[in-house]
Amino acid sequence: MTTEADMPLTQGITIIKKFTETLPNRPGVYRMLNEKSEVLYVGKAKALKKRVLNYTQPQRQSGRILRMISQTRSMEFIETASEAEALLLEANLIKQLKPKYNILLRDDKSFPYIMITNDHDYPMLEKHRGAQKKGIEYFGPFANAGAVNRTIAFLQKAFLLRNCSDNVFANRSRPCLQYHIKRCTAPCVNKVSKAEYAEQVDHARAFLTGRSDLVLKDMSEKMQRASDELDFERAAEYRDRIKALNAIQAHQDINIAGLGDVDIFAAVLREGRSCIQVFFFRGGQNFGNKSYFPRHNKEETIEEILPAFIAQFYLRHPIPPKIMLNQDIADAEQTLLEDALSTKALKKTSISAPQRGDKKKLMQFVENNALESLKRKILMSESDHRHLENLAKIFKLETPPERIEVFDNSHTGGTNMIGAIICATGEGFEKSGYRKFNIKSSAASDDFAMMREVISRRFKNFHQLDADDQKNVWPDLLLIDGGLGQLNAVHQALEELGIFEDDLNVVAISKGPDRNAGREEFHSRKFKSFTLPHSDPTMHYLQRLRDESHRFAIGTHRSKRGKAMHKSILDEIDGIGAKRKKALLTFFGSADAVSNANVTELQKVEGISLQIAEKIYNHFHE
């Protein structure tokens, strides 16, 4: 007998079975959609019909899959040429759609690299993140900016390469501080020949590609030769550079001969949560590590989590020739991953799980790191959940808040005004919920007007959402940086949108007497203003939220202010891009000189036609 509770499951199975009638047994990707056409799950298949038919047999499914089938009301399919192609497409769609029932890599930030420019007689060494250009050498990836900065500092000691911009380099008349502290050979003022500097660059390149033994041998020979020739000052320079190079290698936690270029993944699972630790080795050198905490159901196993994570991880990161795992995955899954990654990288990629020797010891080291990271994450999560329970008590909320949004503003004398929002949940800071607003209000330096504008723009679509959407994206608590004035400004903006005290919990945090941290006061229309003891853990939690909002707001403001400082009045003219702007400034020397030029003079600049010259002239002489 079918009960009322079984009805959605029966309906889901019937819908899925209907789709299988026309499905081919070819590779492809399928999407399961709910009644709102939201994607619940993205999957790949070697044979679409066979894979999808499997969902019509509920006795073989886990509780999680049965819930998904119960919510399925439609399906979509894409056929592919191979199963490897289906795997790559599946990973792309998961990243794009973020389905509820898929394992999801949440932090997909790009990694930094070390860059050596090749478009200058004296190449520069610097950090780079983002799109890579042709004609420039990149070494990495490094796990984080700290790993890059440390490596660059060591490289400057060992190879004395410049890190100044081309503009600074071209305008030096005497050596800068870097030369005097022996971090650069001052090619800007000809303290080193082009050939000698090229050798420094070759040494740095060799080191970054794992040939440090050749560099050390060459430097040692040069030091001995200088000593034999009684050029003790030059011998001492090589001695210091050798010491710096040895210091880099001593700083490495792990050194295994013949390791080459390899990424190492160690996945651990505890209390239904997982951590995947990734170590990057290039040329046998440790370029740092990073911890990931993918989103998945508590029923998922490491054997399911690890392949799904790796497929998504390499959507935008470089694929090395070797990948090492802390445990075996199914042979078919491993072969599929190798084929897909090899196809994407246009070169052979192998996956292995070391069973003995130094590589096994290395893998154990990485796995221990992953386990410790997961323990810390779980402890922090438990602590955050306790704080949320305490917030419900002290702020008189009906239930612990699941989503908190913190609002802050930043500006300098009423210029480059920024409104910022950060988001926190029981899992910590949720970066996808961060928002920034360029303030459009004409009321410069009016914090109340700025706050009203940010609140209005954040909540303007409140009544256009249905109940489910409000539950998913709506905050349970708003924290406002400010006092009673800011609190009233927020309520005023909300009431104009038809949102009242019962709809949202709003609390303002102001600095206490003498603006001392630890003596903050809390204000709301639902309770009298109060403060918490300086040592109260919940006070520290609220300070952490407030400090994160400050960091995000100030960082965004500084970025905007920095861009504004480099802005030119020429940027306001339609049709004047970077190339024409550079040509005009090079020819006339300044933007003011451009503004005073006539049409004939403007036409003398390369790339400036009569039509463009008239447009520039009219812009300044309307």
Could you tell me whether strands 322-325 and 350-352 are parallel, antiparallel, or unpaired per DSSP bridges? parallel
Which residues are CB-contacts of 343 (< 8 A; sequence separation ≥ 6)?
84, 85, 88
Side chain identity, residue 521: E
Q: In this structure, what token pair is assigned to residue 236?
A: 């001492």
528 three-class SS: strand
- Is the pLDDT at 45 greater than 90, yes or no? yes
256: buried, middle or exposed (CB in 10 Å: 19+, 13-18, 0-12)? middle
Q: In what order do the strands lie in the sheet with 322-325?
A: 285-292, 273-282, 262-270, 322-325, 350-352
Query: Could you report the per-residue pLDDT of 220-239, keeping only the tens digit for each?
Result: 888 888 888 888 888 888 88
Mean local confidence (pLDDT), 537-557: 85
Which residues are CB-contacts of 252 (< 8 A; sequence separation ≥ 6)?
285, 286
Question: Locate tokens 């492809």: which residue?
Answer: 28
In this prediction, residue 324 carries a pLDDT of 95
**Nearest by Cα to 425 from 449, 391, 446, 401:** 401
Q: Is the peptide bond before 141 cis (omega within 30 degrees of 0)?
A: yes
Sign of CA dihedral 560, 138, 243, 202: negative
220 three-class SS: helix
- Is the pLDDT at 582 greater than 50, yes or no? yes
Q: In this structure, what token pair is assigned to residue 584?
A: 């005009």
- Is the pLDDT at 210 greater than 50, yes or no? yes
Query: Could you report the per-residue pLDDT of 255-267, keeping only the tens digit for each?
Result: 666 788 899 999 9
Mean local confidence (pLDDT), 298-311: 91
Mean local confidence (pLDDT), 573-588: 80
Query: Could you report the per-residue pLDDT of 492-536, keeping only the tens digit for each?
Result: 988 888 888 778 899 999 886 655 566 788 999 989 999 988 888
**Are the beta carbons of 261 and 282 closer than 8 angstroms?**
yes
Roughly what angle, to the nearest 10 degrees, separates helices 63-71 and 7-20?
80
**Are the beta carbons of 34 and 83 closer than 8 angstroms?**
no
Do 4-97 and 262-375 fold alike per CATH? no
How far apart, in whole angstroms, are the C-alpha atoms of residue 405 and residue 473? 11
CATH superfamily name and code, 262-375 = UvrC, RNAse H endonuclease domain (3.30.420.340)
How far apart, in whole angstroms, are the C-alpha atoms of residue 365 and residue 237? 37
Longest dimension (CA), the chain: 100
| Contacts made by residues 93-97, CB under 8 angstroms, sequence distance 24+ | 93/29, 93/31, 93/39, 93/42, 94/42, 94/308, 94/312, 95/312, 95/315, 97/31, 97/39, 97/42
- Is the pLDDT at 466 greater than 50, yes or no? no
318 three-class SS: coil
Query: Could you report the per-residue pLDDT of 403-438, keeping only the tens digit for each?
Result: 999 988 876 555 667 888 999 988 888 888 888 888
How far apart, in whole angstroms, are the C-alpha atoms of residue 291 and residue 295? 13
Residue 252 neighbours by CB distance under 10 Å:
12
- Domain residue spans in the chain? 4-97, 116-251, 262-375, 403-562, 569-621
Side chain identity, residue 461: N
- Is the pLDDT at 471 greater than 70, yes or no? no
- Is the pLDDT at 566 greater than 60, yes or no? no
Side chain identity, residue 35: E
Q: Above pLDDT 70, what percent of the chain?
A: 90
In this prediction, residue 256 carries a pLDDT of 67
Q: In this structure, what token pair is assigned to residue 270?
A: 């505890």
Q: Which of 57-71, 236-250, 565-579 has the highest mean pLDDT?
A: 57-71
How far apart, in whole angstroms, are the C-alpha atoms of residue 466 and residue 241? 66
Q: Considering the chain, what is the average pLDDT of its residues? A: 84
In this prediction, residue 412 carries a pLDDT of 57
- Is the pLDDT at 470 greater than 70, yes or no? no
**81 - beta bridge partners?**
none
CATH superfamily name and code, 403-562 = UvrC, RNAse H endonuclease domain (3.30.420.340)
- Is the pLDDT at 243 greater than 60, yes or no? yes
Q: Which of 309-318, 454-463, 470-479 has the highest mean pLDDT?
A: 309-318
Question: Locate tokens 């610097």: which residue?
Answer: 126
**Nearest by Cα to 117 from 205, 188, 189:** 205
Mean local confidence (pLDDT), 46-56: 93
At 578, the pLDDT band (50, 70, 90 cuts) reads: confident
**Nearest by Cα to 333 from 371, 301, 299:** 301
How far, in Å, are 94, 118, 138, 586 from residue 124 at the CA level?
39, 8, 12, 23
The phi, psi pair for 135, rounded to 5°, reads 85, 0
How far apart, in whole angstroms, are the C-alpha atoms of residue 599 and residue 616? 8
The DSSP call for residue 112 is P
How far, in Å, are 571, 581, 587, 591, 593 from residue 596 at the CA level?
16, 15, 13, 9, 5
- Is the pLDDT at 600 greater than 70, yes or no? yes
- Is the pLDDT at 26 greater than 50, yes or no? yes
Q: Which of 228-242, 266-280, 439-453 has the highest mean pLDDT?
A: 266-280
- Is the pLDDT at 557 greater than 80, yes or no? no
pTM above 0.75, yes or no: no
Looking at CATH, the fold of the domain delimited by 4-97 is given as: GIY-YIG endonuclease (3.40.1440)
**Nearest by Cα to 420 from 312, 524, 538, 559:** 559
Query: Could you report the per-residue pLDDT of 127-160, keeping only the tens digit for each?
Result: 888 888 877 888 888 888 888 888 888 888 888 8
Which residues are CB-contacts of 152 (< 8 A; sequence separation ≥ 6)?
114, 125, 126, 127, 163
Considering the four listed CATH numbers 3.90.45.10, 2.40.30.200, 1.10.150.20, 1.10.1040.10, the one that applies to the domain covering 569-621 is 1.10.150.20
3-state secondary structure 8-47: HHHHHHHHHHHHHCCCCCCCEEEEEECCCCCEEEEEEECC
The DSSP call for residue 343 is H
